[in-house]
Structure 1
Amino acid sequence: MFPYTYKVLLRSICLSIVLLLEISSLQAEGKYLVTFLVYRESTGIAIPNINLIVKSAKSTATTDKQGSATLSFPNIGFYEIRVVSQSKVLNFSREIRYNGQQIILYLPATEIAGINVSGERDQTKLSRYNFQQEEIKRLPGVAGDSLKAIQTVPGVSIGAPVGILPSVFTNVGNLVSGVPYSNSDRGDISLRGGGTRQNQYFFDGFPLPYPFHLGNQSSVLNNNLIRSFDIYSGAFPSRYGFATGGIIAIEGTDKVEETKTIWNLNFFLTDVYHQTKLIPSLSMVSSGRKNYPNFVLLRAYPEGIPEDAKFAEYHDFQWKLIWDISEEHKLSIQTFGSRDRQAYTKTQASLERGGEDPRPPTGLDRQFRTDAIRHIWKSKVFRHTLSYSRTTFTEFFELRFSNPLTAETIFGLQNRTSDFLNYGEQRLEWYIFEEYLKLDAGVQVRTRETNLKGENITSSNRTFFELFNNLLDSNAQFRSVIDGDRIRYQEGAAYAELQGKWKGFTIRPGMRYDTYSGSREKNLSPRLNGGYEFESTKTSFLAGHGIHYNSPVLIEQLSSKSGNPNLLMERSEHNSVGIQQELNAIWIFKVEAFRNIFQNIIVPDAFVADPYSPYNDPRLIVNDPTRAIRDPIQSRNLNYSNSGYGYSEGIEIFIKKSKDPRQESGAFGWISYTNSITKRINNQARRSSDENTDASILNRSRELLAQTKLGTNYLNYYSDNQFELIYNNDREELYDLDRRHILNVVFGYKFNSVWQVGGRYRYFSGTPYTPIVSANRANQAATFGVNLYFPEYSKNYNSDRLLPFHQFDIRIDHIDQFSWGYINFYLELVNFYGRLNQSGFNFDNLSPYQRGTNPAPIYDTVNSPYVQSQRPNGSIIYLPLINLGMEVRF
């Protein structure tokens, strides 16, 4: 039987469901009379003689002198309001909630003057997936987080945001984990096989450091702030750069038409959104969120938490001020940010704190804040936008190695990374021929500074401390992490793109010019996509090609102390063709085939060297000043190079059905499927341990005088007049995040204005990994009073796959409409059938290798959470995570 606490929890949920049924207050169907007030956006002056048309409700009206018009609707729900002014048509989507409701529509001055500026017609259909807020607001299994819909579109593979070591520790972490091969970085998502750190995220056109809180729990933006978002997975427009993977462009609230407050409360988080007009020309938007999984799960039902579950505590905030200075000028100021604190596992907490304090110790603390300002000037044919933002990112990481017998800290350190990004853009949109030809051009500048510093290094074991100092003296990468490091660089770009449309043909030729101060590169990248649409059948044929560049992103890669400051920009080529079919403005069928090629990928390189590097490391100079005077120039391993190459190819299928706005009930949702393969090659010589030992002994007696590359091979010339050819015998391997099959099914059914049910099913092929085949005992570990075993990995890298990931989530919504707003009660059953989805393996260094037991599987408790309980016979049962919440709109 279930533990008492969980039984109480289930009873509470059942009681809540009964209450939802009892408080149902379904309004009788009939006419809903709604008054629309049409005002000029900049001045708030009423606009008469404006025609309002709602086809689905078969209702029309014309505004009077007060800008007022009343329309009749058969049911509550979302409707498309068409506003006709001087033969120009504007479309608004509004929710009808109750009889007697008032809705304010603000018309921009340029629209009244007779020109329809930027809209859906300016957007490409190729390799782009767009979602509006009302489509994703109640996505099942995400606690009302709309941005998680990103993970349900074709070509998206979920990454590993946090591993053994975050950020700059990614490669140094191999000293601890011993993993012999990797061709990826830690990050949130991969788009069509691109690197997880090679995407760019934008919010309102400003850089967003990362889209999700630690562990992909939820987005860093309030759900109700997100108006829509675009996902560009290939051949994206010329305006977007600094990326070789893909683009996530999120649009937030850009105008306030009415005062409203939305409060969302559930078992694991609370968020609030508020928008208001301070004066007719000045509006403010603010929102915030706080989660509390540790409080709920560790206090309410600690027995149900998996032993290796990790829960990050986080909060985020957004604030925006919108000033419509005049009909032509608009100014906005905004700030947004986030903070995450990652905890160790419950097992680790019990060991280190004796089980007295249920709060896990903090292992990772990261946060960012972006402050931005934008000015927009609009005329009949021009739109000029000037933007500037500054983003500050900090990451505090704590690493501890404890004796498993005594919990004594053998070694500990803290590390702090700070990153400062300044971004500026000047953009001009010129509507050369209305509806036919538009020019989008601009310049962008980015400056970045990253600082790294180790702090509070401690050890209670003298022997380990000596080993630690030896590691500092012998490993430049580890030394730069501990002693501190800094990089600075600048990037500039200019872009231009024509957007033409004529008799079904669309074409978007563009060009982008990128510069990077680190390598002093100047790269010109062409972009082209277009297609033809048969207007009678709404069938579109699409094709596109684009070249993209991105500069190095990690401090250890560019470090002048331990890395290669001369690294080039990475390059990618995106090619795709597709066909899209629209039916009745409700159904969309889309099929795309793609092939992306990735070149100049930055990879760890054990052979690249600089024969004439200055001897400028402070620690080495202090330890041996005479050598610094005697040999001011030395040969130094650069550790990283642009030797990597890869490709990704496949086919994507996307089927989407929107709910018919003319009907109160109906089904909606989408299906996405991707079949692809992604491979990488690091182009590194694979030597045996004996070959490495022989080369190391030989090179101690000679100096490297010159190095060059012959294809992908290195040719070295030494002081003994001997040449050495380092032959590249590497081979292609599966990408660490390759998933052969990705299937997402999202569906919902609205029974009436009160009840709605939805589901989400996900299936992914398991990611590749290099299996452990045996383990070796470390005799020297007896110094610390323990026996340690170090795993030995297969020589066939990425030769096996984890088990497939699959999960089903359910959400039930009950919506009560009132004159002042609505209350939405919702119940979510996350991971409905309690699936344990594997995320990797864990090797216990205190035990020998045993097939099927050590290493043991690790399960994903963040992307695929579950609750464990005990049957009467003592066996474990896995249950869905239950989330009950309430959203209130005032």
Structure 2
Amino acid sequence: MKLIPIRLFHCVLCFTLLVFFLETNALYAEGKLEVTIQIVKSNTGKPVPNAVVISKKGKTSGISNAEGITKLTFPEPGYYEIKVSTADKTESLFREVRFKGQVILVSIAESNLSGILVSGERDKTPLSRYGLVQDEIKRLPGVSGDSLKALQTVPGVVIGAPVGILPSVFTNIGTNLITGNPYSNSERGDLSLRGGGTRQNQYYFDGFPLPYPFHLGNQSSVLNNNLIKSFDVYTGAFPAKYGYATGGIIAIEGTDRVDENKTIINVNLFLSDIYNQSKVLPGLAMISSGRKNYPNLVLLQAYPQGIPEDAKYAEYHDYQWKLIWDINPDHRVTVQTFGTRDRQAYTKAQADLERGGQDPRPPTGLDRMFRTDAARYIWKGKSFRNTLSYSRTWFDEFFELRFTNPLTAENIFGLQNRTSDTITYVQNAFEWELWEEHLKFEVGVQGRFRETTLKGENISSYNRLFYNIFNDLLNSNSAFRSVIDGDRIRYREKSAYTEFQFKYGGIRLTPGARVDHYSGSNESNLAPRITAGYVFESTKTSIMAGHGIHYNAPVSVEALSKKSGNPNLFMERSEHNSLGISQDFANHWQIKIEGFHNIFQNIIVPDSYIVDPYALNNDTRIFVNETAKVLANPIKAKNLNYSNAGYGYSEGVEIFLKKTKDPREQSGLFGWISYTNSITKRINNQSRLSSEESRNRTLQNNTRTLLAQTKLGTNYLNYYDDNNLELIYNNDKEELYDLDRTHILNIVFGYKFNSEWMVGGRFRYFSGTPYTPITGATRANQAATFGLNLYFPNYSGNYNSDRFLPFHQFDLRIDRIENYSWGYINTYIEFVNFYGRRNQAGFEFDNTRNFQRNLNPSPTYDTVNSPFIISQTPNGKMAIIPLINIGMEVRF
């Protein structure tokens, strides 16, 4: 492989930096700056006359005329506090003065004018919640202008594995074609919050369900950066209005007011996006945005020799559209749609195949998308608000799977698996302020109606052994059979909740509860929750405590499958307990320390022993092929493959230190440090039999029929037709959770030198995740069928007993902001993975070679969360250098 010399790279880098830092003439006018201030009502856009406008720092004031306009004179550019007083009350806000003749639009909410109930930051619990706003996350380093990735830097958040090697439905196909880790207590998904499952979280955008928050590989969020107003991460004892989760809640709030028309365009080396908000008519506004990335074009075409061999870069686009209609100060209607599409079927190796004229199809491909259409109606009164919401989400995932000869890459057979999911969500929430500023009551009802289908499509093969292998799988494996024939699940979830928010003096008390009903198991569960605290106003010290019970229905089609799973699975349960203290100090500094202990029960796990002795023998394929046998035996013992036998816990302590920049100052430091020390363990409660014990049990059960099964604690007791009892003793033990990380440290900072220059950095350090080491390999004699030697790895009996090396990385970003009368231009450069760290993501065993310590298996590296470029030093050695991203954001 030919690599670019390191000296040439340094020349290119120096030239790039020289161009980037080229000074341009500032357009600030000398002397005093006369600025036009226009005061309007946010809901109707009508001017507010006779409003007194004062800036104490600017030493200027004025009164708005009939058009809501007044002119103020400021001594110099900068941020100023502006107070607007009307007949009803006074509102204080900060605005940036940039140039002479600037028009500053100040929108005053109708609720502030008429005293209508407003819910905001003051109503949100501070316990187990970490929130960040747009100003703090807009220019987060190392994420190409994607502010939502800041949620990965708050305490208790662990990055998961959003894309696995195979969909989970294929994990039980058999070891004759697939070999892998013999033990797992997790599933693929985006994030784990305080040890919860990655598929046990709920994501919301503007209160509507969001199927997943990030594009494939955690590359970037599925929402436009400028659309995100703020987000809250609830990691424990979250409010009663949030359900359908045992892990945590991520609630993203989008822009909900259009004070002025503006367009923002962001273009960099890897993606482009556009955001626009416009006032269509008085009281009617529209917001739209879209994004497209193109890493394949830049990386694989412009500089393919620098890309790691196994690096995967998904191609994606997303879009959002929102219509806001403020009918009058009391009524609002919003209509919106948002969605995305991801395609990951391209690697550097694939590019080499295409250039060589070989089969252009990748070994595996993934194509997934979703779209959500939603509507909301809000009715506000002086002391109440009612919100009616409706949404419908379509999700589709298309996965291509090919079983190949490990030596020749000949296709033995392939298929395409399609998972489709439809979720209809309705909610009505009523808020009533019973005692102004002291007691608020909230009650609501929710409903989710879900339908999921799974189907194998486009089965193909070019191998003479295909027919035998394929039919053996169909006959021996019900999970594989259900994929080929297609499977579908439908269920309903209905919920009701209530919550009181009481505040008096320093006391804060929020008791609440919700009831969740799940149609699959026809169960209803009461989930009480309570948070309490006390604020010492004199010292700005807060102490907090909380307890909550949470339930979530099964989410995977393979587990609930009537053909190959257990349709009678119960809801999973979790208990969250938290205790914390928060202290404000100095100038805009805050520190929060919180301890937690979470318990997870009824976790759905693969179960090799659970059986339904009297299941209908109604498999269509078996009935067609063996009609007489089915008619003679209409009832049979059926393996259910999944149960609620899992249990786990997570406990630890979190520290969050945050510095907010004073908006009145042009310069200053801001950022946060988060640290989590925790341990998470799981137990699947599955009997661990030796190879000999498993073989003897299989031989014995081939000659008898199961008549009854019950559980004694976590042990199975079976009764057979030979009048013998079998006790399957649970000798399982607690193991580290697959995503357990003892230490998680994030340091994010930004420093604004003035209105033009800003620098930011992000440092991340995580303990490595646990894994089960390979201790040797066994030669597979049956591989002679394929005409080659194969070796299958032998794994240690001590599951998850080792850890990968720690993950650490530093990203740097430099911004140059130029202000103009029509807006600004923000040019930036990012150094992603500044010191070129290769972070191990796993290991790969070459089945054509025997085990050899430190060589086979070989490490694989994370090239998405921690990208890097391969170069070459003058002496011919490999060098790892950062990924450089240059971009420009324009607002007008």
Task: Provide TM-score, normalisation by structure 2.
Answer: 0.96
Which residue is 1:110 aligned to? 111
Between 856-865 and 434-443, the greater mean CA deviation after superposition: 434-443
The one-letter code sitting in structure 2 at the alignment partner of 1:445 is G
Task: Give the secondary-structure state (helix, strand or coil) at the position aligned to 2:67.
Answer: coil
Instruction: Say yes or no: does 1:506 pair with 2:505.
Output: no
Give percent identity, aligned residues only.
66
User: CA–CA distance in 2 between the matches of 1:812 and 1:597?
Assistant: 43
Task: Give the secondary-structure state (helix, strand or coil) at the position aligned to 1:324.
Answer: strand
User: CA–CA distance in 2 between the matches of 1:15 and 1:358?
Assistant: 37
Between 250-259 and 458-467, the greater mean CA deviation after superposition: 458-467
Instruction: Say yes or no: does 1:21 pair with 2:21.
Output: yes
Task: Give the secondary-structure state (helix, strand or coil) at the position aligned to 1:862.
Answer: coil
User: CA–CA distance in 2 between the matches of 1:707 and 1:55?
Assistant: 79
User: CA–CA distance in 1 between the matches of 2:229 and 2:4?
Assistant: 43
1:370-449 correspondence to structure 2 within 5 Å = 370-403=372-405, 405-449=407-451
Shift of 1:780: 1.7
Which residue is 1:685 aligned to? 687
The one-letter code sitting in structure 2 at the alignment partner of 1:285 is I
User: CA–CA distance in 1 between the matches of 2:15 and 2:875?
Assistant: 28
Which residue is 2:461 aligned to? 459
User: CA–CA distance in 1 between the matches of 2:246 and 2:30?
Assistant: 52
1:253-332 correspondence to structure 2 within 5 Å = 253-332=255-334
1:77-226 correspondence to structure 2 within 5 Å = 81-86=82-87, 88-90=89-91, 92=93, 94-115=95-116, 117-166=118-167, 168-169=169-170, 172=173, 176-226=178-228
Which residue is 1:708 aligned to? 710
User: CA–CA distance in 1 between the matches of 2:57 and 2:237?
Assistant: 37
Which residue is 1:35 aligned to? 36
Aligned 8 A contact 2:353 2:359 in 1 = no
Match 1:646 to one of 645, 648, 657: 648
User: CA–CA distance in 2 between the matches of 1:431 and 1:263?
Assistant: 41
The one-letter code sitting in structure 2 at the alignment partner of 1:619 is R
Shift of 1:360: 5.9
Distance 1:613 1:66, change over 3 A: same
Task: Give the secondary-structure state (helix, strand or coil) at the position aligned to 1:671.
Answer: strand
The one-letter code sitting in structure 1 at the alignment partner of 2:453 is N
Listed one character per residue, the Cα deviations across residues 842-875 of structure 1 (whole Å, up to 9, x for unaligned) are 0011111101100000100000000001223321
Distance 1:535 1:779, change over 3 A: same
Listed one character per residue, the Cα deviations across residues 345-380 of structure 1 (whole Å, up to 9, x for unaligned) are 323553587367999677010000000011111111
Task: Give the secondary-structure state (helix, strand or coil) at the position aligned to 1:477.
Answer: helix
Aligned 8 A contact 1:126 1:529 in 2 = yes
Shift of 1:23: 3.6
1:341-740 correspondence to structure 2 within 5 Å = 341-347=343-349, 350=352, 354=356, 363-403=365-405, 405-584=407-586, 586-740=588-742
The one-letter code sitting in structure 2 at the alignment partner of 1:306 is P
Match 2:838 to one of 836, 839, 842: 836
User: CA–CA distance in 1 between the matches of 2:201 and 2:498?
Assistant: 21
User: CA–CA distance in 2 between the matches of 1:257 and 1:452?
Assistant: 46
User: CA–CA distance in 2 between the matches of 1:808 and 1:519?
Assistant: 48
Aligned 8 A contact 2:607 2:641 in 1 = yes
User: CA–CA distance in 1 between the matches of 2:385 and 2:206?
Assistant: 16
Listed one character per residue, the Cα deviations across residues 404-441 of structure 1 (whole Å, up to 9, x for unaligned) are 55443122111111000000000111111111111111
Which residue is 2:859 aligned to? 857
User: CA–CA distance in 2 between the matches of 1:76 and 1:706?
Assistant: 82
Shift of 1:537: 1.7
Between 746-755 and 805-814, the greater mean CA deviation after superposition: 746-755
Which residue is 1:64 aligned to? 65
Distance 1:541 1:80, change over 3 A: farther
User: CA–CA distance in 2 between the matches of 1:479 and 1:73?
Assistant: 75
Which residue is 2:50 aligned to? 49
Distance 1:400 1:360, change over 3 A: closer
Aligned 8 A contact 2:430 2:443 in 1 = yes
Aligned 8 A contact 1:870 1:877 in 2 = yes
Task: Give the secondary-structure state (helix, strand or coil) at the position aligned to 2:48.
Answer: coil
Aligned 8 A contact 2:482 2:563 in 1 = yes
Shift of 1:401: 2.6
Distance 1:643 1:4, change over 3 A: closer
Shift of 1:105: 2.9
Listed one character per residue, the Cα deviations across residues 210-247 of structure 1 (whole Å, up to 9, x for unaligned) are 00000000000000000111110111000000000000
Aligned 8 A contact 2:534 2:544 in 1 = yes
Task: Give the secondary-structure state (helix, strand or coil) at the position aligned to 2:328.
Answer: coil
The one-letter code sitting in structure 2 at the alignment partner of 1:157 is V
Distance 1:595 1:214, change over 3 A: same
Aligned 8 A contact 2:262 2:278 in 1 = yes
Shift of 1:64: 3.1
User: CA–CA distance in 2 between the matches of 1:55 and 1:636?
Assistant: 78
Aligned 8 A contact 1:222 1:273 in 2 = yes
Task: Give the secondary-structure state (helix, strand or coil) at the position aligned to 1:177.
Answer: coil
Task: Give the secondary-structure state (helix, strand or coil) at the position aligned to 1:795.
Answer: coil
Shift of 1:72: 5.0
User: CA–CA distance in 2 between the matches of 1:79 and 1:343?
Assistant: 51
User: CA–CA distance in 2 between the matches of 1:856 and 1:694?
Assistant: 36
User: CA–CA distance in 1 between the matches of 2:78 and 2:138?
Assistant: 14
User: CA–CA distance in 1 between the matches of 2:742 and 2:67?
Assistant: 60
Listed one character per residue, the Cα deviations across residues 652-699 of structure 1 (whole Å, up to 9, x for unaligned) are 000011112232211111100000000001111110111111111111
Distance 1:854 1:223, change over 3 A: same
User: Gaps spanning 5+ residues in structure 2: where?
Assistant: none
Task: Give the secondary-structure state (helix, strand or coil) at the position aligned to 1:690.
Answer: helix
Distance 1:57 1:149, change over 3 A: farther
User: Gaps spanning 5+ residues in structure 1: where?
Assistant: none
User: CA–CA distance in 2 between the matches of 1:746 and 1:30?
Assistant: 37
User: CA–CA distance in 1 between the matches of 2:476 and 2:271?
Assistant: 47
User: CA–CA distance in 2 between the matches of 1:78 and 1:725?
Assistant: 74
User: CA–CA distance in 1 between the matches of 2:33 and 2:152?
Assistant: 38
The one-letter code sitting in structure 2 at the alignment partner of 1:698 is Q
User: CA–CA distance in 2 between the matches of 1:857 and 1:696?
Assistant: 37
Aligned 8 A contact 1:78 1:95 in 2 = yes
Shift of 1:81: 4.6
Between 16-25 and 536-545, the greater mean CA deviation after superposition: 16-25
User: CA–CA distance in 2 between the matches of 1:838 and 1:4?
Assistant: 24
Distance 1:144 1:54, change over 3 A: farther
Shift of 1:315: 0.3
The one-letter code sitting in structure 2 at the alignment partner of 1:784 is F
User: CA–CA distance in 1 between the matches of 2:518 and 2:442?
Assistant: 23
Listed one character per residue, the Cα deviations across residues 107-134 of structure 1 (whole Å, up to 9, x for unaligned) are 3333211245111111111111111101
Aligned 8 A contact 1:5 1:300 in 2 = no
Listed one character per residue, the Cα deviations across residues 526-550 of structure 1 (whole Å, up to 9, x for unaligned) are 1100211111221111111110000
User: CA–CA distance in 2 between the matches of 1:310 and 1:173?
Assistant: 27
1:236-251 correspondence to structure 2 within 5 Å = 236-251=238-253
Shift of 1:484: 1.1
1:817-832 correspondence to structure 2 within 5 Å = 817-832=819-834
User: CA–CA distance in 2 between the matches of 1:93 and 1:401?
Assistant: 61
User: CA–CA distance in 2 between the matches of 1:250 and 1:624?
Assistant: 54
User: CA–CA distance in 2 between the matches of 1:216 and 1:783?
Assistant: 40
Between 53-62 and 783-792, the greater mean CA deviation after superposition: 53-62
Between 157-166 and 146-155, the greater mean CA deviation after superposition: 157-166
Aligned 8 A contact 2:203 2:250 in 1 = yes
User: CA–CA distance in 1 between the matches of 2:845 and 2:377?
Assistant: 55
User: CA–CA distance in 1 between the matches of 2:478 and 2:80?
Assistant: 63
